[in-house]
Amino acid sequence: MAYATISIRFYLKKDASPNHRGFPIYCRISCQRKKAELYTGENCMPDKWNEAAGAPLRDLRLKDYLSHVEETIRQNKRQLEMDGREVSAKILKEIFRGKGPAEAEAETPVPLVDFFNEQLHRISRLSRDYTPGTLQHYRTTLGHVKAYLAKLKEKDIPVQEVDHKFIQDFDYYLMTTPGEQSGQPMGRNTANKYHTKLKTILLQALKEGILSTNPYAEFKLKNKTVHREHLTKEELQRIRELKFENLSLDKVRDIFLFSCYTGLRFTDAQELRKQDVHPDEDGNYWIYLKQQKTDEPLAIPVLNPALELYHKYDHLREVTGRIIPSFVNQKVNTYLKIIADFANVKKKLTHHVARHTFATTVLLENDVPLEAVQAYLGHTTSKTTAIYARMTNKYKMKIAHRLNEKI
């Protein structure tokens, strides 16, 4: 009987997140042109590692441990051969991780990307339970997973190989890889949104018995408190008063101001059509729409500054049916940087600042109760509203003045 030949090599996984002891030491098992890799549980600094030898330079304890790992794998191989069982890199890996030979053989690999696609197809058919925005977030998450695997020179990996270490390394990838449009790595809260979607997919794998443990069990998603930028009343007024000969700048300013006085997200404002805005029996104009992000209906009265912009584009509405000019978000944000310079606004101006400005400067600072702010923004919980409508110093002082009159 011909026995399979295996090779075992240790290396530093430098595309993973390091800790205070250095980069993770991985063991690569090769057998019959197939490979399997596993984390040894040890780390090492690059300057203390012999790349050519695949071993630490001087750490005798670590050398002994890695020798023990290699000998254990080779012993397991010999035992499989003595028992007449199949030998493969994957089976040797699974036995080293604590599984019995029969369990290691029986486990059928389920490709992660394929499984993710299957779950995405399943939830996309549950249109009542998932909004278009949520489905898109799942697709974007899958895109990040595929990009991370491509960096590892893998098209796919078995779901069974997704462990705590994989999640840590994926997190490191998300937090350090520059975005295609921004050129900057994503923030903690954005990364957490993608983790939440991947976690949901993996929990489904756990339910189906594909995974035996939850890879996220020891990985806690803690959002970072962020400063939500908004314009002051004076900054908002300066932008309103700007006169532009450049039509693109003028249109982008109006797009921004429309959301400053309606609180609409960029996508919702761009989707508004003629039939979505009309007066009631008293002549007061209302906006009626279904929000793309939440799929929830929203009805908001149109404030005078927004109504002025509505009438400014009467001709556009009659020709195209649109309420405001059509622009892509990236282009709007590029022009807003120029507009900020013209208005002497030192803050980083993006379209989403308009929604924060509406909540904080237009509503909250004009004594609109938080529950009314919640209704205007179309939030289902006051907790979400509290993030947008921050308690500014100006508003605190208003409350203080009222208290001083009463105490």
Tell me: pLDDT of 388 over 60. Answer: no
The hierarchical CATH code for the domain 233-406 is: 1.10.443.10
Q: Give the whole-angstrom CA distance, residue 55 versus residue 44.
A: 10
pLDDT tens-digit map of 299-341: 888 999 999 999 999 999 999 999 999 999 889 999 999 999 9
Assigned token pair, 182: 């921004």
Assigned token pair, 119: 């779950």
User: What's residue 101's pLDDT?
Assistant: 81
User: What's residue 387's pLDDT?
Assistant: 62
Q: What are phi and psi of 11, to 5 degrees?
A: -150, 160
Q: Give the whole-angstrom CA distance, residue 226 versus residue 156.
A: 35
Q: Give the whole-angstrom CA distance, residue 17 versus residue 97.
A: 22
Name which of 30-44, 171-185, 271-285, 386-400 the model is least confident about.
Answer: 386-400
User: What's residue 158's pLDDT?
Assistant: 93
Domain ranges of the chain: 6-106, 112-207, 233-406
Mean per-residue pLDDT, 59-64:
95
Q: How many helices (H) and strands (E) are present in the chain, helices listed first?
A: 17, 8
User: What's residue 272's pLDDT?
Assistant: 93
Residues in the chain: 407
C-alpha distances in Å from residue 273, one per residue of 68, 276, 277, 288, 325: 69, 5, 7, 10, 11
Task: State the residue for tokens 């003045």.
Answer: 401
C-alpha distances in Å from residue 124, one per residue of 114, 141, 205, 369: 15, 15, 18, 37
Q: Give the whole-angstrom CA distance, residue 204 versus residue 360.
A: 40
pLDDT band at 396 (very low <50, low <70, confident <90, very high): low
DSSP string, 60-119: HHHHHHHHHHHHHHHHHHHHHHHTT----HHHHHHHHTT--HHHHHHPPP-BHHHHHHHH
pLDDT tens-digit map of 69-83: 999 999 999 999 999
Sheet holding 6-12, edge to edge: 6-12, 23-31, 34-44
Tell me: pLDDT of 127 over 90. Answer: no
User: What's residue 193's pLDDT?
Assistant: 95
Which residue type does 90 have? K
User: What's residue 357's pLDDT?
Assistant: 92
Q: Give the whole-angstrom CA distance, residue 399 versus residue 396.
A: 5
The candidate with the shortest Cα–Cα distance to 51, out of 5, 93, 14, 7, is: 14
